């Protein structure tokens, strides 16, 4: 990453950090873009160069996070069974959200605007994961590969949907592991 890219990422992160702190302190609905730009020490134009709006601050992920997703996928051995790869990738991705996911969840619970949002912190990742699975599927096995990725994503969504508000993030990860174990496809033997 060159100097210009590092500066852009630092600005992006400064805006996100300031915004998330304000959202935590005073709530999503009452926090204004003007307050965010003042806390981040940037102009309003700079804010909108990096984010489409307040909602994007909650959901968008930076370029290094996207690079980490790719690394999670690239690091899986080509001969590893798909379900084991999916389990490792999903667990690694969701673990990387340990610091942000509980806050994002609280904000969605507190804010009607965010609760109505169709955007999700994992939306872009899920798209990339589906592409990765498609690239790994052998000809004639696309149906099974697609089914497995959908089962794995359903396991992650189920863990999230059943995660009690008063349970720490480690409880969510335990639910995820349980859902992935229970959703594991049974391989028929000939």
- pLDDT greater at residue 166 or residue 123: 166
pTM for the whole structure? 0.81
Q: Please, what are the domains in the chain?
A: 3-58 (1.10.10.60), 61-183 (1.10.357.10)
- Supply the DSSP symbol for 167: S
Confidence check: pLDDT of 73 > 80: yes
Q: State residue 121's pLDDT score.
A: 57
Q: Where are the alpha helices (DSSP H) in 51-168?
A: 54-59, 63-74, 82-95, 101-110, 112-115, 123-136, 142-161
Which tokens belong to 127?
Answer: 């798209």
């Amino acid at each position: 990453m060159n100097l210009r890219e590092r500066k852009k990422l630092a600005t992006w992160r400064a805006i996100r950090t300031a915004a998330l702190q304000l959202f935590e302190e005073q709530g999503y609905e009452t926090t204004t873009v003007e307050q965010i730009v003042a806390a981040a020490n940037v102009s309003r134009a700079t804010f909108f160069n990096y984010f489409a709006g307040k909602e994007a601050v909650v959901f968008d992920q930076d370029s290094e996070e996207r690079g980490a997703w790719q690394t999670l996928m690239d690091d899986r051995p080509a001969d590893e069974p798909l379900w084991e790869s999916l389990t490792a990738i999903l667990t690694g991705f969701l673990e990387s959200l340990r610091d942000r996911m509980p806050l994002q969840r609280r904000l969605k619970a507190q804010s009607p605007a965010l609760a109505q949002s169709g955007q999700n912190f994992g939306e872009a990742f899920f798209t990339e994961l589906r592409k990765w699975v498609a690239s790994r599927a052998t000809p004639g096995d696309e149906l099974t590969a697609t089914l497995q990725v959908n089962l794995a994503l359903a396991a992650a969504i189920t863990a999230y949907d059943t995660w009690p508000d008063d349970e720490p993030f480690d409880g969510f990860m335990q639910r995820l592991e349980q859902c992935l174990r229970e959703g594991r496809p049974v391989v028929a033997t000939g």
